[in-house]
Amino acid sequence: MQDATDRCHQRIEGVRWLMLDIKFIREYPDIVKKSLKDRNTKLDIDELLSLDTKRRELLTEVEALKHKKNTLSQKIGQKLAKKEDVNREKSEIKSISQNINEIEPKVEEIEQKIHHFVFTIPNIPHKSVHIGPEKEANQVVKEWGKPPKFNFKPSTHIEIADLLDIIDFKRASKITGSSFILYKGLGARLERALINFMLDLHTKKHGYTEVFPPFLVNRDSMTGTGQLPNLEEDMYKLKDDDLFLIPTAEVPVTNMHRDEVIAFDKLPLCYAAYTACFRREAGSYGKDTKGLTRVHQFDKVEMVKFVKPETSYNELESLLQNAEKVIQLLELPYRIIQLSSHGISFAASKCYDIELWAEGSKMQLEVSSCSNFEDFQARRANIRYRDKKTNKLSYVHTLNGSGVATARLLIALLENHQTKAGNVLIPKALRPYMDGLKEIKPA
């Protein structure tokens, strides 16, 4: 299977249209079909190619009719100069115009179908991505730290939050509904501290520029990064304005440069952004929904990169290390998973997940996904740069990674840093953001 994947990628090296566009699909249908199979995605590429063939046939017919119409128009001009009768030519032009008017709407209808179809085709996995289901083909590529060993039965984050009175799940449910969070007292302070700590780390140590984007985006933005059209049911949408609450800062930050040409000397561009994130989690009802494990609104610091294509996979490893540093400084054990072809997101070509161990819940919790989208998003959002050597416009590669999401991070922090007395120790790196507080104690 891997040999076949290698051959597949050798064929498309240097010509990877990754929106995917119809030209690529037409020239390399076998590659697209294999990619869909590898991703366990069912789409009829032959149907798409049939539409494309029909569209091109109709366009050829229209061009022939227009050419004939132009020839007749010239002939009419010549005849009029000689004061000859042109009624036959005029009648023929009228008939041709009617034919064109009948064909052009058909072309437009087919083009709309092709456009919609193409936007539902996922990115092609990178050749290093293992093929298969997540449970079988996901790979643990790194482990860091060891789970704490307690001489008492550790509590869950729900029990700890209740004892310390730092999260009020009941009132959050009363205010909004289930799977929402109300931090209070030192819980709210801790959440704010985590956000500020991560922003400072990424901007002061890792070289990112901080931005604070809108929490609402339009349909073009959601389409540009690949959330639409496939994931619309998972998004919170405003009824009257066709705006969406963001599922992640990746969406507004990536779309900062939509329809722009980035100066060559500006690359790589690296941004860090705090936002609240909103996800309906459609289809996950009753699955790990207690406490902070799966919530509809959560806070996250996101890292987004715009880079030159030849550097994007080195940039992915750097992005991953930046996310790791957050967790290392918070003294939490974690592992890194390289996701399989079934597990990577719709827009991603390659993705790593970082999972934290939570001792009280005995669970691995994903707190970061670091992905390289190559030029998949850039093509959808039309984000380009001008190559300094060739002077040609090319698409940038985009990457993003959670740096990191706080809800599950807080689970691990509370459960792994708890004491027998019911206190929670504050990691040293976080204490300056808590005014030097070393631990949270029951009231």
**Amino acid identity for residue 330 in this structure:** L
What average pLDDT does range 386-391 have in this prediction? 88
Tokens at residue 211, please? 């931005």
Residue 11 has pLDDT above 80, yes or no: no
Q: What is the pLDDT of residues 419-429, one digit of tens each?
A: 999 999 999 99
Tokens at residue 309, please? 């294509």
Model pLDDT, residue 21:
78
Residue 83 has pLDDT above 70, yes or no: yes
Q: With the CA atoms of 241, 245, 249 and 253 taken in that order, what torsion angle do they form, in degrees rounded to the nearest 10?
A: 0
Which of 5 and 140 is assigned the larger pLDDT? 140
What average pLDDT does range 84-97 have in this prediction? 94
- With vertex at residue 366, the alpha carbon angle to CA 360 and CA 370, rounded to the nearest 5 degrees, is 155
Model pLDDT, residue 405:
97
Model pLDDT, residue 285:
52
Fold of 2-118: Helix Hairpins (1.10.287)
pLDDT class for 42, splitting at 50, 70, 90?
Answer: very high
Residue 309 has pLDDT above 50, yes or no: yes
In contact, 404 and 326? CB cutoff 8 Å: yes
Q: What is the pLDDT of residues 249-287, one digit of tens each?
A: 999 999 999 999 999 999 999 999 999 999 997 655 555
Name the residue with tokens 């009175």. 165
In contact, 216 and 222? CB cutoff 8 Å: no
The dihedrals phi and psi of 294, each to the nearest 5 degrees, come to -140, 100
d(CA 201, CA 199): 5
pLDDT class for 4, splitting at 50, 70, 90?
Answer: very low
What average pLDDT does range 369-394 have in this prediction? 94
Model pLDDT, residue 1:
36
**What does DSSP say about strands 269-278 and 209-211: parallel, antiparallel, or unpaired?**
parallel
In contact, 188 and 172? CB cutoff 8 Å: no
pLDDT class for 146, splitting at 50, 70, 90?
Answer: very high
Q: 378: burial class by Cβ within 10 Å (0-12, 13-18, 19+)?
A: buried
d(CA 257, CA 395): 12
What average pLDDT does range 178-207 have in this prediction? 98
What average pLDDT does range 304-333 have in this prediction? 98
Task: Considering the chain, tell me which residue range(s) the CATH 1.10.287.40 domain(s) occupy.
Answer: 2-118
Task: Considering the chain, tell me which residue range(s) the CATH 3.30.930.10 domain(s) occupy.
Answer: 134-440
d(CA 129, CA 232): 27
Fold of 134-440: BirA Bifunctional Protein; domain 2 (3.30.930)
Sheet hosting strand 393-395, strand order edge to edge: 260-262, 383-386, 393-395
